[in-house]
A and B are shown apart, each in its own frame.
Chain A
Amino acid sequence: MTVPAQIDPADDSGQSFYEKHKKIYPQSVHGTFRRIKWIVLIVTLGIYYFTPFIRWDRGPGAPDQAVLIDLPARRFYFFFIEIWPQEIYYLTGLLILAALVLFLMNAVAGRVWCGYLCPQTVWTDLFLLIERWTEGDRRERMHNDAGKLTPQLAARKTLKHFLWLMTAWWTGGAWVLYFSDAPTLVHDLATLQAPFIAYLWIGILTFTTYALAGHMREQVCLYMCPWPRIQAALTDEYALNVTYRLDRGEPRMSAKKATAALARGEPAGDCVDCHQCVAVCPTGVDIREGPNLGCIQCGLCIDACDTVMERLDRPTRLIAYDTDINIGERLAGKSTMARIVRPRTLLYSALILIVGAVMAWSLSARSISSVNVIHDRNPEYVVLSDGGIRNAYTVRILNKRTTPRTFAISVDGLTDPVVEVTAANPADGEQIVPVGADQTREVRVIVSVPEPPAAASVPVTFVVTDTADGETATVTDNFRGPGDGT
């Protein structure tokens, strides 16, 4: 493993503390991994740009957008799921799941996230496509930039920036659609009636997308993103990485020299030193120097090298997903295989399954109404004039339906309790609380018993029952007293 020499040791013409920016001109490439990347790009961008337009019927009075973050109403809608602010732990669960999946991907194949899925990579790929389409491929762009700015080149560059800005603008536009009814917002945006905040966010995201995908590109990965640092600390030596198989490639020499060397009985490697792998690399890395912080593991150099190998009739995958351990074993004459199933990958998979199962279970088991209780703390109980004991509670009932409902409140666990919802309009002797559609209602409930319970604290269960369909929700709390009852 060699280390990149950041500064040419022979060059001592001044010592700069600032890296000169070397513009990278990635060359277009064809092959398996490029195809996978295109598919991932189409799928992910398709999801991102079009999801806000998917409709989902939730009945009258509720938004019919499948995925909607409704900040003013404090609701998050995701198809059949509706998340309330007090259920924000689902988001925590989702983030834990996302982190575990990232760790698993890392344990299996290093920075796959970076190479295929990261928005920075996906949008950079899209912007490079536009650049190639307007300004030509690597050679042409390098040639153009080295020469004078002709009117024709200026026109092509203007077109490029225009297309970039349109893409960036669409990106920002799609973002705000997640926060409001998409078709209405599109209409309002077009007729300049949308709220200022929508335009502001579109502006911000247009700018960041244009700057990050058009201009910053690999600089984001090299200097701004924390993931490469975390990833390097999390990975192990068995994770598959895009690796130059130096056991096969060295000593590198041109095809002609190789033939001659082999004829003389001298060793010759498969690498013909054509620099194709470097030319296609979006971060300008020479993978043959070994693992490199700049490499986002996109696999494009594999495609580039395979193309060369095929032309030379040599076996492909001189660069491949492999490990340094395997290279060492092959150099030592042993056979190798990828070790995907290891304690680390098993552990991550198990954790993902557990967290995923817990989340799926809690999502499916959650009811469409729920109840919370807060016991009065000051005082915990009061003595009534007849010597009975009274406790007061604040009961909060959540109606997650899109229709108004009424609930009856009762209490289990006490002898002869008198339950009273203060300021309620009792019907048929029952304690009835109406709760509006998709709303929370807080009521004060006082519970009295004629005889002080024997214990200072008795567990009680509050039961709220939908008066229409009988659905119940329960919560337990305590009933307190002096504890000297008989």
Chain B
Amino acid sequence: MADSEHNEPRLDPVTGYKTTGHDWDGIEELNHPLPRWWLWIFYACIAWSVVYWFIFPAWPLVWSATGGLIGWNSRTAVDQEVAALETNRGPMIDRLTSTEIAAIKDDPELLDFTRAYGSIAFKENCAPCHGAGGGGSKGYPNLIDDDWLWGGSIDNIGHTIAYGVRNDNADSRYSEMPAFGRDGLLSGAEIREVVYYVRSLAELPVPSSADLTAGAEIYARDCASCHGEAGTGDQELGAPNLTDAIWLYGSDTADMIATVTNARNSSMPAWGERLDPTTVKALTFYVHNLGGGD
């Protein structure tokens, strides 16, 4: 308060209050006295803060902090809440474990629980590839539509989740499409012909100059063993249906040529190795429930 002066308090004629005597460049402060209990509450708060230091964790030490007399800290509080949550949902998880997956929908309470539980597991484990809502993206199958590479029955979905696709697990789904172009099995012109033929199967536009007969021959020789004579695919082999409107890697001619040239053998982990069977069951139910399950 270097610039302030201390004068004798005087009576301010306008307000009828006395001033405190503090004067900052002619600005004076009126004295509106506070009641004393107000001050006591202030002191009481200071006193309480000292008590607080002893009751709760407060002072940092070199490697830790003072623990507080009642042993409370935010870490144990979280642990307690997690433990409480587990006790809380324990019975539902037990029920889920002991219920056949096909019977879940007969128990509305368990159904709601399984969907919620599965949705969390999905967001934690599956969403990075298949999208938060299961919509997938190029190369990552959409789980809401009605098209399934490896089968959309609840058992098939369960198997795919538990053992994955094209991984090291002995029970993993497995098949391999040859890289027809890269490995020199077909020439560039042959690839183009077979692609046009496949497009015609799916009723996609084909240039009028395309030689569909030649394409059909190549198809019958090299593709039909997996994708079927009519191109409807084979879920045993994970061979996509080529006649429908769903194209995992795109339906442009260029995309399709790239697929035939280099093949697309994507993989998926065996979630049964990472998650417990009950979580896999909930995930299976949830994915089947997203809309596409047969």
- Does residue A15 face the partner (Cβ distance < 8 Å to B)? yes
Q: Does A161 contact B (CB under 8 A)?
A: no
Interface segment, one of B12-20, B67-75, B88-96, B254-262: B12-20
Can you report 30 A-B residue pairs in the complex whose CB atoms are below 8 A from each other? Answer: A3-B15, A4-B16, A5-B17, A6-B33, A12-B9, A15-B31, A17-B20, A17-B34, A18-B39, A19-B36, A20-B36, A21-B35, A219-B35, A223-B34, A376-B133, A376-B144, A378-B131, A378-B132, A379-B133, A382-B142, A382-B145, A384-B147, A385-B245, A390-B144, A390-B145, A420-B291, A423-B111, A424-B105, A425-B105, A441-B112
CB of B115 within 8 A of CB of A444, answer yes
Q: Does A102 contact B (CB under 8 A)?
A: no
A462–B293 Cα distance when bound, in Å, is 23
Question: Quick check: is B106 within 8 A (CB to CB) of the other chain?
Answer: yes
**Judging by beta carbons under 8 Å apart, are A385 and B144 in contact?**
no
Report the bound CA distance from A425 to B102 in whole Å.
12
Q: Using A379-B135, A446-B291 as known contacts, say yes or no to A385 and B241 having CB atoms under 8 A apart.
A: yes
B37 contacts chain A at the CB level, 8 A cutoff: yes
Query: Which A residues are CB-close (under 8 A) to B236?
Result: none
Name B residues whose Cβ lies closer than 8 Å to a Cβ of A. Answer: 9, 11, 15-18, 20-21, 31-39, 104-106, 108, 111-112, 115, 131-133, 135-136, 142, 144-147, 241, 244-246, 285, 289-291, 293
Cβ-defined contact, B290 with A392, below 8 A = yes
Q: How far is the CA of A434 from the CA of B111 in the complex (A)?
A: 12
CA distance A376 to B291 in the complex (A): 11
B38 touches A423 (CB 8 A): no
Task: Count CB-based A-B contacts (< 8 Å).
Answer: 120
Specify which chain B residues have a CB less than 8 angstroms from the CB of A425 in the assembled complex: 105-106
Please tell me if A383 contacts chain B, counting CB pairs below 8 Å: yes
In angstroms, Cα B106 to Cα A379, docked, is 29
**Docked complex Cα distance between A80 and B106 (Å):** 35
Instruction: Report the minimal beta-carbon distance from B170 to chain A, rounded to whole angstroms.
Output: 31
Output the least CB separation between B95 and chain A (Å).
16
User: In the complex, A382 Cα to B142 Cα: how many Å?
Assistant: 8
A442 interfacial contact with B, CB 8 Å: yes
Closest 10 CB pairs of A and B: A379-B135, A385-B244, A378-B133, A19-B33, A446-B291, A3-B16, A423-B105, A387-B245, A382-B145, A9-B11
A223 is contacted by which of B16, B18, B38 (Cβ under 8 Å)?
A: B38
- Say if the beta carbon of A230 comes within 8 Å of chain B: no
CB nearest to A424 among chain B residues:
B105
Contacting residues, chain B, for A223 (C-beta < 8 A): 34-35, 38
Question: CB-CB < 8 A to A20: which residues of B?
Answer: 36
A16 within 8 A of B: yes
| Interfacial chain A residues near B112, Cβ < 8 Å | 441-442
Give the complex CA separation of A2 and B241 in angstroms. Answer: 94
Distance (whole angstroms) from the CB of A16 to the closest CB of chain B = 6
For chain A, residues 210 to 226, give those with C-beta under 8 angstroms from any C-beta of chain B. Answer: 219, 222-223
Check A377 against B133 for contact (C-beta < 8 Å): yes
A window 369-422: CB within 8 A of B = 376-379, 382-387, 390, 392, 420, 422
User: A21 contacts B131, CB within 8 Å?
Assistant: no
A7 within 8 A of B: yes
A positions within 8 Å CB-CB of B: 2-7, 9, 12, 15-21, 219, 222-223, 376-379, 382-387, 390, 392, 420, 422-425, 434, 436, 441-442, 444, 446
A383 near B145 with CB under 8 A, answer yes
Report Cα–Cα, A4/B111, bound state, in Å.
72
Which residues of A sit under 8 angstroms from B36, Cβ to Cβ?
A: 18-21
Interface pair A384/B245, CB less than 8 Å apart: yes
Complex Cα gap A16–B21 (Å): 12
A442 to B116, CA, bound (A): 10
**Shortest distance between the CB of B281 and any CB in chain A (Å):** 14
- B106: nearest chain-A partner, CB-CB: A425
Residue in A closest to B8 when the chains form the complex, CB atoms: A12
Closest Cβ of chain A: how far from B85's Cβ, in Å? 17
CA distance A423 to B20 in the complex (A): 77
B291:A392 contact, CB within 8 angstroms: yes
In chain B, what residue has the closest Cβ to A447? B291
Complex: A393 Cα to B34 Cα, angstroms: 61
- Residue on A nearest B13 in the bound complex, by CB: A9
Please measure, in the bound complex, the distance between the C-alpha atom of A379 and the C-alpha atom of B147, giving whole angstroms.
16
Cβ-neighbour of B246 out of A379, A385, A441 (below 8 A): A385
Q: Bound complex: CA of A6 vs CA of B19, how far in Å?
A: 11
Query: A384 touching B145 by the CB < 8 A rule?
Result: yes
Max count, chain A CB within 10 A of own CB: residue among B16, B106, B136: B16
User: Once the chains bind, are B142 and A19 in contact (CB under 8 Å)?
Assistant: no
A423 near B289: Cβ-Cβ < 8 Å: yes
Kindly list chain A residues whose C-beta atoms are within 8 Å of the C-beta of B17: 5-7
Query: In the complex, what's the smallest C-beta–C-beta distance from B148 to chain A, in angstroms?
Result: 10
Shortest CB distance B66–A (Å)? 28
Q: Name which residue of chain A comes closest to B36, CB basis.
A: A18
Residues of B within 8 A of A444 (CB): 115, 289-291
Closest chain B residue, CB of each to CB of A445: B291
Q: Which residues of B contact A387 (CB under 8 A)?
A: 244-245
Say yes or no: B289 contacts A422, CB within 8 Å: yes
A residues within 8 A CB of B105?
A: 423-425
Q: Are A383 and B245 in contact (CB under 8 A)?
A: yes
Q: Nearest residue in B to A5 (C-beta to C-beta)?
A: B16
